[in-house]
Structure 1
Amino acid sequence: DLATGSKVPRDGQVRIGSNTKTFVAVVVLQLVGEGRIGLDTMVDTYLPELVRGEGIDGRRITVRELLQQTSGLPNYSDYLGDDVRYYSPRELLDTALQHPAEFDPGTSWKYSNTNYVLAGLIVQKVTGRPLAEEIDRRIIKRIGLRHTYFPAPGDASIREPHPHGYYREPADGPLRDITEIDPSWGWAAGQMVSTNSDLNRFFGALLAGHLLPSAQLAQMRSTVPAEATFGPAARYGLGLVSRPLPCGGLSWGHGGSFPGYETRGGATDDGRATTVAVTMQLTDEAGRRNLERAVDTALCR
């Protein structure tokens, strides 16, 4: 804490950013296993006439393409600017739809938070319940994540002991405490709060088959190249990233960036798991790769 000099609390809560996407993908795939969502069903089936724009048509985008980041939808967060306030999911989607498609669905891969806002809206439409409640019921309570939650609208705080998070812009500017912030701009793409140990428990339980039937877990682990965002030889499944380990084998996880915090981690098929969090969002490639090397080192020991 730069104001008081107090140390970072052990295993404190942090904003986990895009690790949220894996939670959302698990809920969608549970609903697939229940026969309530079809992976290769068009988005328009669940959200009729909602997804329209220049080169954008929900009648041509599948649920699988949302989860795998192959829809071509523009990334709304590229266009929000510095306006920190409450955003509804529909506002986030509408922001994206003001811009043209990146490519035709299924023809390429590009990371877009818009995909997961739509996945969250589909969950709400199919279940008739808020996304936060479905994540809490289907994942958090099911595997005993005691320090993980989806903040309520307007909740800018972090509930339990936590390190302060800092923001720096420009790169040589002063560090600014940004711990308390409305996280709604992330919603299904990045709003959640958790701890390193809870994230380890989540990814470990997921790979061990405690959250999904084997058929849906296999679909989740079916990957396409994603080096542009996640580094050399990285691949993206359905809300799940695989990266080769220097000691052999793969780590499976996601990672997250959120103002004030950066998290990277992974779990292996033989039960190892580690997560590292730092208290400033890393905007440089070298910093993020250093964090990933720390994860690799831990997993390989």
Structure 2
Amino acid sequence: MGAGPSDLGQRGAAGRERRLPSRGMYVLPSLFTAGNIAAGYYAITQSIQGSFAQPAFFDRAAIAIGFAVLFDGVDGMIARLTNTASDFGRELDSLADVITFGVAPSLLAYMWGFRMLPPLTEYVHLRDRILHLGVFVCFLFLICGASRLARFNISVNPQPRNPGRPGKKYFVGMPIPAGAGVIASVVHFENGDPIGDPRWSAVWLCLILFTGFLMVSTWRFWSGKEISLGQRHPFQLVAVIVAVGALIALYSEYVLIVVALGYLVSGVLARLAYSWGQKRRQAGVPS
């Protein structure tokens, strides 16, 4: 990702000369990273314009974050396929993630879930307290996301506390794009209609807190890095991708929230299953 070395030739393991990608190729993944930043900026501008009268702004912000998740996956895939990964690209990608998957979803979560609460006649000060708590919780989400990125950048071969199947790659903690996807999918499921009931704001607050915790946890989450178009049955993978894309295009509100919350729950279930199995092993119960 980003600008890299010149296209001087190097010799591979077999002694044959292997040329590095040209300088222009290093720009390609960075273009998708720039698209990631643009989507995050657009989401921020839409979030601050949303209201009960114009919920479409919130919905557009959520959709922009969804597209940014796609861009984030594509830029890394292109960098690996074209062998154009670079330190500059990694740093740019991390900064983009802080904006698009940290600042943008935390602002959207606050504006959609807390800021639009109507005045409460029965409890005059309750709304103000909910707003203040909402600001704090959304800030915690941002900090957790930034901490998750920092840990990822400095870790070398990190291992989750609940290791999974040998040879299968896992993330340590929920990735920040997935955390942002949880926020965006819920808003999109509601078509941008903001929360107007303080009881639902309390549920929203708990979901934001729990998502932030999962990002800084050491629980395992499936990475999907073993999936490759170069595997033995690439056409089956392409068929699955096309089918999922068609479902998202037709029923995006339902498919995206199922995928986002399903991924969240998968990490929780993996942790619970590991803890349960560990207790059985300590008790001497045969598996």
Higher-Rg structure is 2
User: Greater RCO between the two (CA within 8 Å, min separation 6)?
Assistant: 1
Per the normalisation by structure 2, the TM-score is 0.30
Per the normalisation by structure 1, the TM-score is 0.29
Greater fraction of residues in strand: 1
